[in-house]
Chain A
Amino acid sequence: GAGVSQSPSNKVTEKGKDVELRCDPISGHTALYWYRQSLGQGLEFLIYFQGNSAPDKSGLPSDRFSAERTGGSVSTLTIQRTQQEDSAVYLCASSPGAGLRKGSPLHFGNGTRLTVT
């Protein structure tokens, strides 16, 4: 594909419902990242995948958050029992190889804007 694709672009959900966010990375990119961006805050790291495995899940805010990646490609981020503080833009990024060697930049999707009412 031309770039990283995320869906949906916008999601409004009621407090307590589950949501699933999807990320299609650039073809061939083995590294995949999920970030959360709140207004006036820096990007908050959530999870990193290398292939299908997630060597670093340390950024997931609580056990309501989980993510998986299948076939070394598509990833889904699931938030269970959503809370209002989960409202943010969720960004996915990918890069070739094992992370950021030699300044290889991250390629970001446009994000999913999640609003929990």
Chain B
Amino acid sequence: GQNIDQPTEMTATEGAIVQINCTYQTSGFNGLFWYQQHAGEAPTFLSYNVLDGLEEKGRFSSFLSRSKGYSYLLLKELQMKDSASYLCAVRVDSNYQLIWGAGTKLIIKP
């Protein structure tokens, strides 16, 4: 079967750092995506990892370990606007099929 696990909800403080984990068990692996989704809005692309290691993009970084079936999204210098759901998605064998996690709702407190 295909399964992606993420924590349901996390809380962090403005200005701090938070790490959102994603573990996956899928029939194949051809890359992992992170998306941000504000309530009532479209998911927007944050990052893509296909090789092991850390990809840094401004305040956001994403890490992948294929051997462990594990990824995390690291958000630094948290801002109130970072309050949103963060979705992890794995591209499996086909070139169009994505398996999605249920998302992690991140709440930022002042």
**Contact yes or no, A45 B98, CB < 8 A:** yes
Q: Is B27 an interface residue (CB 8 A)?
A: no
**Contact yes or no, A109 B96, CB < 8 A:** no
Min C-beta distance of B30 to chain A, whole Å: 8
Q: Could you say which interface size class chain A belongs to?
A: 20 to 34
**Contact yes or no, B95 A98, CB < 8 A:** yes
A-B pairs under 8 A by CB, number: 62
Of A36-44, A64-72, A77-85, the one with at least 4 CB within 8 A of chain B: A36-44
Min C-beta distance of A26 to chain B, whole Å: 12
Q: Is A100 an interface residue (CB 8 A)?
A: yes
Residues of B with Cβ closer than 8 Å to A?
4, 8, 30-31, 33, 35, 40-45, 48, 50, 87, 89, 91, 94-103
Residues of A with Cβ closer than 8 Å to B?
3-4, 31, 33, 35, 40-45, 48, 50, 56, 91, 98-101, 103, 105-111
Q: Could you name 14 residue pairs across A and B whose Cβ atoms are closer than 8 Å?
A: A35-B100, A40-B8, A40-B102, A42-B87, A42-B99, A42-B101, A48-B97, A99-B95, A100-B98, A103-B31, A106-B43, A107-B45, A108-B42, A110-B40
